[in-house]
Amino acid sequence: MQVLPLRVLVLEDHLFQQTVAVNLLKKLGCQAVFSASNGTQALETLQRVGAVDIVLCDLRMEGMDGLEFLHRVARVGLVGAVILSSSLSGDVRQAARQLVTLLGLPLLGDLGKPLHADALNELLQKHLHNPRSIPTRLEPVELAPAGEVRSAMQHHQMETYFQPKINLLTGEVIGVEALTRWNHPTQGVVSPAVFMPAIESCGLLNELLFSQIKHGLALARKASSQGHVLNVAFNLEPVQLSNPELVSVIRSILCSFGLPASSLTFELTESGLLEASATCLESLVRLRMIGCRLSIDDFGVGFSSLQRLCQLPFNEIKLDREFVRGLGHDPRCEAVINCTLGLGKALGMSVVVEGIETSEQYQQLLALGCVQGQGYFFAKPMTEHDLLAWLTTRANPEKNV
């Protein structure tokens, strides 16, 4: 019998089905298999035995159910990936699959019930051979200390990276999204998940934004000298809109670079705009008045998307990447993309599709009529120097031969 270097937790309240799942996993060669009858027991098991590679998770059970359990383990990083196994209806399971992904947990698949050895083994092998699943011993994200982040800001260690936005029909680069990375002197490039909470708690969001804008406009000016007109997009937190000086500072920066406000797009997530104050709304209107573009980001994953579109002066919709991931195997994802494209057209808004990672997704989106998108299929976020070189290579493909 093959031995799989996998630690698996079975969360199942039906004792017979739990026993079947445990025995099946052992028969397939899993190195260590643990079991629990509800979420509370499962958390206690993880605290006792440590992290597992996979949890085979039922959803409906007495006490702490599967959903609450997944919420909790997503925060503490004790599970590498999830396989759902439930007898609930297809639409409920589909929503649960979406939730798992939104929680940041890799979803290997949804097997339903009863379990079949071949299907289960296929998912186990998928996990073993997926580079993204290694290492599987997840550790909670250790947040950077506030003092260290302040020092990093003072010593200009925060660098702006840029991810291109592409016209899917022509391949033309129409803009870039600005993203901050911390070039730590000893740890290398640090993820925003580590330092952004400290940036917010220290009240440094505006300082970071204004620095980003200067970097972005410097890039736009250099790109323009090479014949590329780039719009630069920045993530804007709703709390920043309450600053009455926000728009005047942005206008001042634009004037210092001699570039029009149409060079800038500000992306705001719909979830942060549930209760927009008068000052926030005034800032949004003023940004539009001076010529900036406003984009509603992660469209479709919140609960007030349509209300936000009606109330606030957006002129771009960024469709969340989860709908692209569902293309080809979930008809409802295709329906959402179609409806969003129609909505954008009806409201006079452009639609940007996020998370394009494969040629197949690209072709499917073209067939649906998508015009703008971004994702790793085209390019990952890169430094200003690398982006300008990348643009030159695209403009002169013979140089890459």
Q: Is residue 140 part of a domain?
A: no
Task: Give me the mean pLDDT over the 164-192 stretch.
Answer: 91
3-state helix, strand, coil in the chain (%, to 5): 50, 20, 30
What CA–CA distance (Å, rounded) separates 391 from 162?
12
- Report the side by side order of strands in the sheet with 79-84: 30-36, 4-11, 52-57, 79-84, 107-110
Measured from the Cβ of residue 191, the count of other Cβ atoms closer than 10 Å reads: 10
pLDDT digits (tens, 9 = 90+) for 71-104: 888 877 789 899 999 888 877 888 788 888 888 8
Buried-exposed string 221-259: b where 16+ CB fall within 10 A, e elsewhere? ebbeeeebebbbbbbbbbebbebeebbeebbebbeeeeb
Task: Give me the mean pLDDT over the 199-218 stretch.
Answer: 93
Q: Is 344 within 8 Å of 128 (Cβ atoms)?
A: no
Instruction: Please enumerate in sequence order all residues whose Cβ is within 8 A of that of 128, keeping only pairs 6 or more positions apart, or say none.
Output: 4, 5, 6
pLDDT digits (tens, 9 = 90+) for 31-57: 789 999 998 899 988 888 888 999 999
Q: Which of 133, 160, 194 is the last residue of a domain?
A: 133
**Domain around 288:** 146-400
Q: Is residue 379 part of a domain?
A: yes
Give pLDDT, residue 196.
84
Structure tokens at 46: 């993880």
pLDDT at 61 over 90: no
Amino acid sitting at position 390: W
296 and 358 co-located in one domain:
yes
Q: Give the HSE-up count for residue 325: Cα atoms under 13 Å, Cβ half-sphere.
A: 12
Q: Is residue 222 part of a domain?
A: yes
32 and 100 co-located in one domain:
yes
- Beta pairing partners, 54: 8, 81
pLDDT digits (tens, 9 = 90+) for 250-295: 999 999 999 999 999 999 876 556 555 677 888 999 999 999 999 9
Q: Is 66 within 8 Å of 60 (Cβ atoms)?
A: yes
Supply the CATH number for residue 107's domain.
3.40.50.2300
Pairing type for strands 158-167 and 173-184 reads: antiparallel
Q: Is residue 339 part of a domain?
A: yes
190 and 294 co-located in one domain:
yes
- Point out the least confidently predicted range of 134-143, 193-202, 348-357, 363-372: 134-143
Q: Which residue has the higher pLDDT, 126 or 290?
A: 290
215 and 88 co-located in one domain:
no
322 — pLDDT class (breaks 50, 70, 90): confident
Instruction: Please enumerate in sequence order all residues whose Cβ is within 8 A of that of 31, keeping only pairs 6 or more positions apart, or say none.
Output: 3, 4, 5, 6, 7
pLDDT at 394 over 90: no
216 and 163 co-located in one domain:
yes
254 and 354 co-located in one domain:
yes
Q: Which of 107, 133, 159 is the last residue of a domain?
A: 133
Q: How many domains does the chain have?
A: 2
Structure tokens at 36: 């629990």
235 and 267 co-located in one domain:
yes
62 and 164 co-located in one domain:
no
Amino acid sitting at position 331: P
95 and 201 co-located in one domain:
no
Write a three-state SS string for 223-249.
HHHCCCCCEEEEECCHHHHHCCCHHHH
- Point out the least confidently predicted range of 25-39, 124-138, 354-368: 124-138
Greatest C-alpha distance within the chain: 71
Residue with tokens 């007495």: 62
Q: Is residue 349 part of a domain?
A: yes
Residue with tokens 């403009």: 395
Q: Is residue 139 part of a domain?
A: no
Structure tokens at 261: 């406000």
Q: Which of 79, 109, 133 is the last residue of a domain?
A: 133
Q: Which of 239, 249, 301, 250 is nearest to 273 (CA)?
A: 239
What CA–CA distance (Å, rounded) separates 364 from 350?
18
Give pLDDT, residue 36.
92
Give pLDDT, residue 270.
63
Structure tokens at 61: 């059970």
78 and 180 co-located in one domain:
no
pLDDT digits (tens, 9 = 90+) for 135-156: 334 344 466 788 888 898 888 8
Q: Is residue 37 part of a domain?
A: yes
Supply the CATH number for residue 192's domain.
3.20.20.450
303 — pLDDT class (breaks 50, 70, 90): very low
Q: Is residue 110 part of a domain?
A: yes
Instruction: Enumerate the active-site residues.
Output: 354
What CA–CA distance (Å, rounded) separates 282 from 141?
36
Rounded to the nearest 5°, which phi and psi values hold at 246? -55, -55
298 — pLDDT class (breaks 50, 70, 90): confident
pTM of the model: 0.66
Give pLDDT, residue 276.
57
27 and 154 co-located in one domain:
no
Q: Is 263 within 8 Å of 232 (Cβ atoms)?
A: yes
303 and 369 co-located in one domain:
yes
